[in-house]
Amino acid sequence: MDNFLTSIYKWYAVNQRDLPWRKNKDPYKIWLSEIILQQTRVDQGMNYFQRFTENYPTVNELANAAEDEVLKLWQGLGYYSRARNLHASAKIIASEFNSNFPTDYKSILALKGVGPYTAAAIASIAFNLPYPAVDGNIYRVLARFYGINTPIDSTRGKKEFQELAEELISGHDPGMHNQALMEFGALQCIPKSPDCKNCPVAMECYAFNNNQVSGLPVKEKKTKQRQRFFYYYLYNIGDTVLLEKRTGEDIWKNLYQLPLIESEKAISDEDLLKTDLPINAPGANIKQLSAEKKHVLSHQIIYAKMIYVEVTPNFNIPSHLIRVNKKDISKFAVSRLVEQFLHEAGLEI
């Protein structure tokens, strides 16, 4: 065990990436980075981290921001509940902790959007508290090195890996320890085709010595993906278009979109031309149908089209819609899917 960790620590000292949230132990920046990097690669999340720290250098400034501004800054990163929870937690820190980031594990864990892994990462890196941060990278490293076949998404597996991780972190620098193992999994012990021949712990690795690298870690559940069919309507009203805000507990909550019809099954182009428009307007005339886009989310696959509609300027707009000048549309936070459609329509978003 000690030889394993010593080798990982030495590897980390040489190979760790120069990341901005590692410059100091600012818990706000560590928290921000951990939330951004949930479901996001480091190279993709880096620009978002820079944007957030430039716009909101402190947790207090994030707390005082408007939610629409936070969502707009997050645009394109996906999993928007992360941004809403980030903003809500900043408000809690500002009001309940006098804008000082909580310093104990239990209080950090109580923040919205923070689970055991994120709380352990913040507590260990920022405050040197001995909590193991067990993420996908660490599950993979431990499963392969120790030859653990228990599914990582089972109750028994989570308990087994947690106990091992707690045993490993004992007596070591918690922040460095967690970062070293995470970095090793992210760069060396990668999911597919890792470079085992140049791995510092390969000779003692169970998976490498038993030809099980591709089979570990084990998962018992497969994600079921629901199919949805979205039909967006771009109402072209001179220099303006219509937008609506998504509400309810669904994907892209509180983001803006074009007026939408959702169907349980695909609608043919012929039937789309016959389908009632979502907004009745005088002189409405369908001009064009876009090609279908396939948008894949973790639990859903969305098949979407955009319908271009020309409308005469004089009509009463329903209260749930807003009329936006085309040059101002970039001020509104939208999903990546809607962004792509608007870009194809020649609108700068």
| Selected catalytic residue, list 34, 67, 220, 344 | 34
What values do phi and psi take at 344, rounded to 5?
Answer: -65, -30
Q: How far apart are CA 26 and CA 302, in angstroms?
A: 39
Q: What are phi and psi of 92, to 5 degrees?
A: -65, -45
Q: Which two tokens stand for residue 279?
A: 């907004």
C-beta separation of 62 from 74 below 8 A:
no
Q: How far apart are CA 263 and CA 230, in angstroms?
A: 7
Confirm whether 54 is a catalytic residue. Answer: no
Nearest-5° Cα angle at 317, 316 to 323: 130
CA pair distance 90, 293, nearest whole angstrom: 36
CA-to-CA distance for 219 and 150, rounded, in angstroms?
8
Is the backbone of residue 238 left (phi > 0), alpha (psi -120 to 50) or beta? left
Q: How far apart are CA 168 and CA 188, in angstroms?
A: 19
C-alpha angle 290-296-299 in degrees, rounded to nearest 5? 135
Tokens at residue 36, please? 């951004």
What are the residues whose beta carbons fall under 8 Å from the beta carbon of 277, sequence distance 6 or more?
233, 284, 286, 309
Contact yes or no for 243/322 (Cβ under 8 A)? yes
Q: Are 142 and 161 in contact (CB under 8 A)?
A: yes
Tokens of 133: 């941060």
Contact 99, 63 (CB under 8 A): yes
- Bond from prior residue into 217 cis (ω within 30 degrees of 0): yes
User: Taking a C-beta distance cutoff of 8 angstroms, is the pair 113, 81 a contact?
Assistant: yes
Which positions are catalytic?
Answer: 34
